[in-house]
Chain A
Amino acid sequence: MLEDRIDLAWVVDRITQGVVFVGGVSAILFVIAIFVFIAQQGLGFAIFELDKGVFFTSPAWRPTSEPEPQFGALALMAGTASVTGFAMLVSVPFSLGAAIYIGEFATGRTREFLKVLVELLAAIPSVVWGFIGLTIMNPLIIEVFDVPVGLTILNAGVILGLMAAPIMTTIAEDALKAVPEGYREAAEAMGATRWQVIRQVVLPSAKNGLVAAVLLGVGRGFGETMAVLMASGHAINLPTSPFDSVRALTATIAAELGETARGSEHYKVLFSLGILLFIVTFVINLLADVLVRGRKGKRA
């Protein structure tokens, strides 16, 4: 048997091991630390002091009003939900279509080119998307739909849909690729057309992965801040049409947190909004994760 030798290679090996370990653990630590921080700042207030009846049912968000501030978050939740919902209407057909085309039809060069292009879309910073919403979409919507202002659910939804599309396309394509080639061959051997193969064999077996892709897109939409802040109009409204301006939870936190005195009621209620967001995105991501794992488990 060889003796363990302490030479350079051994040292490098050990150091690398340590660095990788710290890297791996730190991700978990950061998530826990963020959760603890948010909870510490706002959870006590959210549980004991905040009037939940008002918070969940009143649209009146006037946190700096005198003499009585109003902390109703219903309009903000409706804002986030409507923008995310509209974004999904835009991006689900597009990204699933793109995933099917890239995964099932495109070959060789075209396929690689499209994949790079889709990933490039994900690299555009959100403030640039917001800027597009503000300066290009706004006048366009006023012009085309003859509405008084173009900073609306429609505007933010389209922007957000485009932002969520790359991640959804990539994950959906992975899900399609994970369907064993044998399924397709078997179906084709039985005389199925290409479309029949996709619709009746590939899509049903990739179902969980596709749902996970959509859920991750939803999570992306929920958490997005800057683009929504700029394109949605930032107006407290219970929306009744896609041409209403709304205000999102994230945008509210972004616009107000920097300007509140630490420890004030307003500060704590913003953290309560943060907790709400955290819970919702956590549940969505967890659901997506469980679904993806379910698919992998079945394969094994």
Chain B
Amino acid sequence: MGSLRTCDRTEDTLKGGPRQIHKVLKKADMKAMKLPLLATLAVAATLTSCGGSVNGSSRTILQNKGSDTLVNVAQAWAEEYSKVNPSCAIAVTGGGSGTGISAMINGTVDIANSSRSMKDKEMTMARENGVEPVEFTVGFDALAVYVHKDNPIESITIEQLAMIYGEGGEVEKWSQLGIQMPEGASDEIVRVSRQNNSGTYAYFREAVLGKTGNYKLGSLDMHGSKDVVDLVEKTPSAIGYSGLAYATDHLKLVPVSSGGGAPVEPTVETAIDRTYPIARPLLMYTSGQPTGATKEYMDWILSDVGQQIILKKGYAPVRDL
């Protein structure tokens, strides 16, 4: 019966308590149906921290998870925000947009980062779980096309990218694009791509291969933007794509053109003015219209201070600063 009493107490403590704690407790209650003992322990543990926060001494912790493209920025935001508002700690995890969105659907995060918008199917699943995701655009990214620094290529068109990456595309060798690879580099194009839950993977498919387009099989699917950049750096005949902020001096960023226009370099400026053809919004999702600590944090991210940070990390802010 000990477990029952603890639960009652929990609900009393809950009334008027901060939203965040409410959610944690709700989760514990759900588990309670299956594992009474564990849940009791969990509830007891939360109660302790709960008491602390009533006294105003404990910190609110927001869970923030998702996009690998955004993870560095999210980390910087979290660090800076802990200075601005010490009563709130943000726990940032990467793993890919898919991770963040599934966590949002499963109700285990407060804010999900994503470099693609949520699919209708995912929205439906979220609603079935009682989550109503609200989308915020927090910045823009030029999706850069990377090649080895010795690759003589000067520009590439969206159509050529589709021929390289897309199913049915016939380009397998650099010479087919009229490019003479230097001594020691193979003529065969090594396609470096991302794992299929990545937002970058999904955005690139949509923007380059078309909504119903598919990737050609046989690309090297890396787990994270950093891995793509690392592999392209070491492989003379490779081509890859990733967020602009992952650019290093050991790589070449290829200017991209579309629809017969002039090739455009991927930079923060060309992402802001939208002249770069594969620029995309960077998104954050909250569960329902944000309130309390989550709202304060989102407001701060979209403020000039927050937007300066995303600019410093190599992405474009949502408005001119």
Contacts and interface: CB of A to CB of B under 8 A. Distances in A.
Contact of B235 (A59, A62, A149, A235): A149
B223 A255 contact: yes
Interface in B202-254: 202, 211-212, 214-215, 217-223, 231, 234-238
Contacts of A151: 220, 231
What 8 A-B pairs come out closest when comparing CB atoms? A148-B186, A259-B197, A259-B98, A261-B102, A259-B99, A64-B196, A236-B217, A148-B237
B124 to A, nearest CB: 11
B188 A148 contact: yes
Interface stretch (A19-27, A139-147, A189-197): A139-147
A241 interface: no
B218 A236 contact: yes
A272 interface: no
A261 B101 contact: yes
A233 interface: yes
Interface residues of B, number: 38
A247 B223 CA distance: 13
Contacts of A70: 214
Nearest to A232: B220
B150 interface: no
A16 to B, nearest CB: 26
B237 to A, nearest CB: 5
Interface residues of A, number: 35
Contacts of A247: 221
Contacts of B266: none
B197 A234 contact: no
B98 A260 contact: yes
Nearest to B66: A259
Contacts of B195: 234, 255-256, 259
Contacts of A148: 185-186, 188-190, 235-238
Contact of A256 (B125, B190, B196, B234): B196
**Among the interface residues B98, B219, B220, which one has the most CB atoms of the partner chain A within 10 A?**
B220
Contacts of A255: 195, 221, 223
Interface in A17-54: none
Contacts, number: 90
Contacts of B218: 235-237, 245
Given A234-B220, A262-B106, A66 B119 contact: yes
B95 interface: yes
Interface of A: 59-67, 70, 75, 138-139, 142, 146-149, 151, 229, 233-237, 245, 247, 255-256, 258-262, 264
A256 B217 contact: no
Nearest to B211: A66
A253 to B, nearest CB: 12
Contacts of A259: 95-96, 98-99, 102, 195, 197
B217 A260 contact: no
A93 B163 CA distance: 44
Contacts of A59: 217
A60 B218 CA distance: 10
A147 B214 CA distance: 26
Contacts of A260: 98, 102, 197
Contacts of B119: 66
A259 B100 CA distance: 8
B105 interface: yes
B96 A149 contact: no
A142 B202 CA distance: 30
20 contacts: A59-B217, A64-B98, A70-B214, A138-B234, A142-B235, A147-B186, A148-B235, A148-B236, A148-B237, A234-B220, A235-B219, A237-B217, A247-B221, A259-B98, A259-B195, A260-B102, A260-B197, A261-B102, A261-B106, A262-B102
Interface in B107-162: 119, 122, 125
Given A67-B212, A147-B186, A258 B217 contact: no
Most buried by B among A260, A261, A262: A261
